[in-house]
């Protein structure tokens, strides 16, 4: 028999199950998110193993739904979040919503991103630089 404080149950379940437990907690989230919802999203991003593409896309959807630029920034800094692995529609929605004002250090960063998008999706979007 194990006795736990109610405040420790979530920590134990997360330690045992990892991001899947946190994602189930987030399924009940609301817009705007509660502080607890945001904490679960950020906790997933701090997970010690590389996250799967599907988890990254779910978190991107939360960032877009919640209009949370801080969550977007944290997602974009995660090793599992690579431009070529993100659903292009999610990326374009983020582009429209956030305008990436906080994501670039200067014009060169923005130009580098455009070049990456162009090389990956030039046929689909017919971009011209």
Q: What are the pLDDT digits (tens) for 59-70?
A: 999 999 999 999
Count how many domains the chain has. 1
Q: Which residue range is the domain that position 65 belongs to?
A: 6-125
In a domain, 80, yes or no: yes
Is pLDDT of 7 > 60? Answer: yes
In a domain, 90, yes or no: yes
CA distances from 61 to 11, 102, 107, 110 (A): 24, 18, 27, 22
DSSP state of 77: T
Query: Does the structure show a pLDDT above 50 at 54?
Result: yes
Tokens of 25: 């907690």
- How much is the pLDDT for 53? 85
- What is the average per-residue pLDDT within 94-118? 68
pLDDT at residue 128 above 50?
no
Contacting residues for 76 by C-beta, under 8 A, at least 6 apart? 103
Mean pLDDT of 13-21: 93
pLDDT band at 90; cut points 50, 70, 90: confident
In a domain, 1, yes or no: no
> And the tokens for 26?
């987030």
**23 compared with 107, residue with greater pLDDT:** 23
Distances (CA, A) of 27 to 23, 69, 105: 6, 20, 34
For residues 14 and 6, which has the higher predicted lDDT (pLDDT)? 14
The answer to the question of residue 49 being in a domain is: yes
- Tell me if residue 108 falls in helix, strand or coil: helix
């Amino acid at each position: 028999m194990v006795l736990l404080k109610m405040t420790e149950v979530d920590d134990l379940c997360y330690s045992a199950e990892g991001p899947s437990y946190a994602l189930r907690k987030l399924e009940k989230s609301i817009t705007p998110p509660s502080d607890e919802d945001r904490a679960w999203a950020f906790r997933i991003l701090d997970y010690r193993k590389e996250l799967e593409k599907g988890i990254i896309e779910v978190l991107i959807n939360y960032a877009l739904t919640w209009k949370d630029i801080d969550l977007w920034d944290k997602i974009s800094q995660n090793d599992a979040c690579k431009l070529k692995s993100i659903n292009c529609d999610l990326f374009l929605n983020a582009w429209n919503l956030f305008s990436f004002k906080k994501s670039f250090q200067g014009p060169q960063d923005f130009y580098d991103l455009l070049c990456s998008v162009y090389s990956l999706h030039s046929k689909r979007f017919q971009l011209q630089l």
